[in-house]
């Protein structure tokens, strides 16, 4: 009985060693916030090895999700910092140094351009927040497509200038439709951004928006 008890203890201890390894890895990840850790039990046929493999797969997905979130936060902070700095400096200039109406208008024009860029980025943030909250459920409302298109064109003007691409717009004013503003913003950004990114350097990009009877038509060439 003594030999059976000792043998049973060692067998049980060895059988539960993978479970202790799972618990230890989970504890280390929780205490150190290190999602790169893996259980790594290797190949096995029983349920414990299957469970460990599923945990490793879950940790990998979580690590990728957190890395994407960190990268997005960093990019958004960087992109928002530039227009905010310009707006502050232009406001200070207009308040302290602008002596004529033309100088004040020039400062206001610069502020407007940067505010429109911020509006586009905020719309993108809102789109992501809605997607996370409602799993992609669209919010329908009356959207001014003309204003939306012009806003994206203004936002992409700097990127186009860097590649010496001329943006030509033929946008009919006050074209409206029922739709999800953030999703429509995403369509506009994808169309125009891809046109600038993959267009011929030194060329041109034409953005046309018009209403034809009951249909809206947006195209880039």
Residue 179: what pLDDT? 83
Q: 43 near 13, Cβ under 8 Å? A: no
Written as six digits, the tokens of 200 are 């011929």
Pick the CATH number of 139-221 from 3.40.50.620, 3.30.365.10, 3.50.50.60, 3.30.565.10: 3.30.565.10
CATH 3.30.565.10 domain span(s) along the chain: 139-221
Residue 150: what pLDDT? 85
**Which pLDDT tens digit goes with each residue over 53-101?**
787 888 888 888 778 777 777 777 777 777 788 888 888 888 888 788 8
CATH 1.10.287.130 domain span(s) along the chain: 18-24+34-137
**Residue 202: exposed, middle, or buried by beta-carbon count in 10 A (0-12, 13-18, 19+)?**
exposed
CB within 8 A of 84, min separation 6: which ones? 114, 118
Please list the ranges in the chain whose pLDDT falls under 50: none
CATH topology of domain 18-24+34-137: Helix Hairpins (1.10.287)
Written as six digits, the tokens of 74 are 């960093």
Q: 108 near 167, Cβ under 8 Å? A: no
Strands across the sheet with 204-212, in order?
Answer: 166-171, 204-212, 215-220
């Amino acid at each position: 009985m003594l030999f059976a008890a000792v043998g049973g203890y060692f067998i049980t201890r060895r059988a539960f060693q993978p479970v202790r390894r799972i618990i230890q890895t989970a504890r280390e990840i929780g205490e150190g916030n290190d999602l790169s850790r893996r259980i790594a039990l290797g190949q096995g046929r029983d349920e414990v090895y299957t469970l460990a493999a599923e945990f490793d797969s879950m940790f990998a997905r979580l690590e990728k999700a957190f890395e994407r979130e960190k990268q997005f936060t960093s990019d958004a902070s960087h992109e928002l910092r530039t227009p905010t700095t310009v707006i502050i400096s232009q406001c200070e200039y207009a308040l302290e140094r602008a002596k004529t109406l033309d100088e004040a208008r020039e400062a206001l024009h610069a502020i407007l351009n940067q505010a429109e860029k911020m509006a586009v980025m905020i719309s993108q943030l809102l789109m992501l927040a809605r997607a996370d909250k409602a799993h992609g459920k669209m919010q329908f409302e009356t959207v001014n497509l003309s204003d939306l298109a012009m806003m994206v064109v203004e936002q992409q003007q700097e990127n186009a200038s860097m590649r010496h691409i001329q943006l030509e717009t033929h946008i009919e004013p006050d074209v409206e439709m029922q739709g999800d503003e953030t999703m429509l913003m995403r369509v506009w950004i994808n169309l125009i951004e891809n046109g600038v990114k993959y267009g011929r350097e030194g060329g041109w990009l034409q953005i046309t928006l018009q209403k034809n009877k009951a249909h809206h038509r947006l195209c880039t060439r």
